[in-house]
Chains A and B, each alone.
Chain A
Amino acid sequence: MAQLKNIKKWFWIHRWTSLICTLFLLLLCLTGLPLIFAEEIDQMLDDDPPYAAMPEDTPKASIDRMIRIAQQRYPDQVVASVFVDDDEPQVIVTMAPSLKPEDGPKSHSLQFDSRTAKLLKDEPPFDTQPQTFMGLMFSLHIDLFMDLPGELFLGFMGLLFVFSVLSGAVLYGPFMKKLDFGTVRYGRSARLKWLDLHNLLGIGTAIWLFVVGATGVMNELSTPLFGLWQITDVKAMLDKYKGHPLPQSSGLSSAQGAYQTAKNALPGMTVISIVYPGNSFGSPYHYLLWAKGNTPLTSRLFSPVLVDARSGQLAAVVKMPFYLRALELSRPLHFGDYGGLPLKIIWAIFDLVAIVVLLSGVYLWFVRRKFYADYFLKLSEVEKD
């Protein structure tokens, strides 16, 4: 009888973890579908003229030149960060009225051709840009327009989902005792048919559901994890500069110089962004540069480099803590964007199967009562035999 009690317990866990999260999981599956193809959709909607055709080995223009052009255009504003694309020949300079966090939504970007330093596009501030379809999908998928509370809420829903997958896998055994793998009892009751389909599709996608669910939870924790890093390691690192005078924007060393310094410090890696001193995502005293590796795996792992904002000297190559490494690795495994278009299509099919598993689960709960009373009765009789 102990076994039956156990099954009932798992059944209870499976029912409630699933029921609570299902509605949100459906939303995540639906909004996640276009997000898998975010890159392709962006490219399709992009109506910018193509980049000027130039030989592959054309040297890059100095970042300082682009910064100067940006500053001449907006003399009352400050540079917040610079993104150096490693994919397309572009550099994006982001400026804001000030580096105070509340001015974040007022920031705007200027796109430059990285080889000619020619200004290609001057975008309006983020808070005046109309909501796009993909932006809406992102908000619904990540935080339901509620920032951190929304992220934590959806993270919790994801955690329930992970438990629902695990408990579902535990229940698969007793349910399949008398059936061959993949049996679908068509032609009897609708309930049996959908139970069999739920079991088949659930167990067939279980690993994918678990991996995408668990890495999704991890991604929802990125704000607190980066926050933890900032109040521990980063704070410890910056404490020794306490009391030093803050660098003024007129007295900054060259951004191109900082870029080169970071590049020299990390041979074999690609520096992709420069966070300006004073930015709340950086250091008050340094340029913070993010570099990534060049292999499929290491291109997902970022290393921060600090360069003194006055002297331009290398200050530190920062080691990321294990929890941020885990977060970085959980991104591709959630997005499915690491194996070309075919993998994305496979991701989308798994996503659609997941929707069927969710809906059939709700249906089974809806018609459950008598059926499961009978089922447990039958199980207890089998055990008595």
Chain B
Amino acid sequence: MNKQFKKVWKAPVLLAGVTLFGLLSALLGTGIWYWLAWVAMLVPLLVMLKKVCS
């Protein structure tokens, strides 16, 4: 647990948080919040792309 747990889950939890933020931000706001949503939801996609290509 603890140290190893952190190592395994740090990236997935961050990605989940960013995705969730993106999902909600376009739902609750407009304008700048749309942009934030697009950028936020691109983060997990780009991270996955980078890992797949490396």
A343 contacts B by Cβ under 8 Å = yes
A27 contacts B by Cβ under 8 Å = no
Scoring A residues 348 to 359 as 1 if CB is less than 8 Å from chain B, else 0, what string do you get?
011001000000
Known contacts A181-B12, A182-B51, A346-B41; is A208 also within 8 Å of B23 by CB? yes
Scoring A residues 176 to 198 as 1 if CB is less than 8 Å from chain B, else 0, what string do you get?
11000111100000000000010
- In the complex, what residues of B have CB within 8 A of residue A207's CB? 15-16, 19-20, 23
With both beta carbons as reference points, the residue of chain A lying nearest to B42 in the complex is identified as: A346
Q: Is the CB of A350 within 8 A of B16?
A: no
- In the complex, what residues of A have CB within 8 A of residue B51's CB? 181-184, 200
With both beta carbons as reference points, the residue of chain A lying nearest to B37 in the complex is identified as: A339
**Min CB distance, B10 to chain A, in Å?**
7
Q: Is the CB of B28 within 8 A of A339?
A: no
**Min CB distance, B50 to chain A, in Å?**
8
- In the complex, what residues of B have CB within 8 A of residue A350's CB? 41, 45
Known contacts A181-B10, A203-B12; is A353 also within 8 Å of B26 by CB? no
Q: Is the CB of A204 within 8 A of B42?
A: no
With both beta carbons as reference points, the residue of chain A lying nearest to B35 in the complex is identified as: A342
A317 contacts B by Cβ under 8 Å = no
With both beta carbons as reference points, the residue of chain A lying nearest to B9 in the complex is identified as: A173
Interface size class, chain B: 20 to 34
With both beta carbons as reference points, the residue of chain B lying nearest to A342 in the complex is identified as: B38
With both beta carbons as reference points, the residue of chain B lying nearest to A183 in the complex is identified as: B51
Interface residue SS majority, chain B: helix
Cα separation A108 to B35 with both chains bound (whole Å): 41
Q: Is the CB of B11 within 8 A of A208?
A: no
- In the complex, what residues of A have CB within 8 A of residue B4's CB? 177
Q: Is the CB of A343 within 8 A of B16?
A: no
| Residues in B39-54 with C-beta less than 8 Å from chain A | 41-42, 44-45, 47-48, 50-52, 54
Q: Is the CB of B27 within 8 A of A204?
A: no
A332 contacts B by Cβ under 8 Å = yes
Q: Is the CB of B27 within 8 A of A206?
A: no
A297 contacts B by Cβ under 8 Å = yes
**Min CB distance, A197 to chain B, in Å?**
7
With both beta carbons as reference points, the residue of chain B lying nearest to A343 in the complex is identified as: B26
Cα separation A350 to B40 with both chains bound (whole Å): 13
A243 contacts B by Cβ under 8 Å = no
Q: Is the CB of A204 within 8 A of B15?
A: yes
Contact partner of A208 (CB less than 8 A), chosen from B19, B26, B28, B30, is B19
| Residues in A199-226 with C-beta less than 8 Å from chain B | 200-201, 203-208, 211
| Residues in B20-38 with C-beta less than 8 Å from chain A | 20, 23, 26-30, 34, 37-38
A338 contacts B by Cβ under 8 Å = yes
Contact partner of B28 (CB less than 8 A), chosen from A184, A296, A346, is A296
Q: Is the CB of B45 within 8 A of A349?
A: yes
Known contacts A173-B8, A181-B11, A353-B48; is A333 also within 8 Å of B27 by CB? yes
Q: Is the CB of A197 within 8 A of B52?
A: yes
**Min CB distance, A335 to chain B, in Å?**
11
Q: Is the CB of A346 within 8 A of B38?
A: yes
Cα separation A201 to B12 with both chains bound (whole Å): 11
A229 contacts B by Cβ under 8 Å = no
- In the complex, what residues of A have CB within 8 A of residue B5's CB? 173
Cα separation A368 to B54 with both chains bound (whole Å): 26
Q: Is the CB of A204 within 8 A of B47?
A: yes
A-B contact pairs, 15 of them (CB 8 A): A172-B12, A176-B8, A182-B11, A182-B50, A200-B52, A204-B47, A205-B48, A208-B23, A296-B29, A332-B27, A333-B27, A340-B34, A343-B34, A343-B37, A346-B38
Residues of A within 8 A of B (CB): 169, 172-173, 176-177, 181-184, 197, 200-201, 203-208, 211, 296-297, 332-333, 338-340, 342-343, 346, 349-350, 353
Known: A203-B15, A353-B45, A353-B48. 7 other contacts (CB 8 A): A181-B10, A184-B54, A200-B51, A205-B48, A343-B38, A343-B41, A346-B42
Residues of B within 8 A of A (CB): 4-5, 8-12, 15-16, 19-20, 23, 26-30, 34, 37-38, 41-42, 44-45, 47-48, 50-52, 54
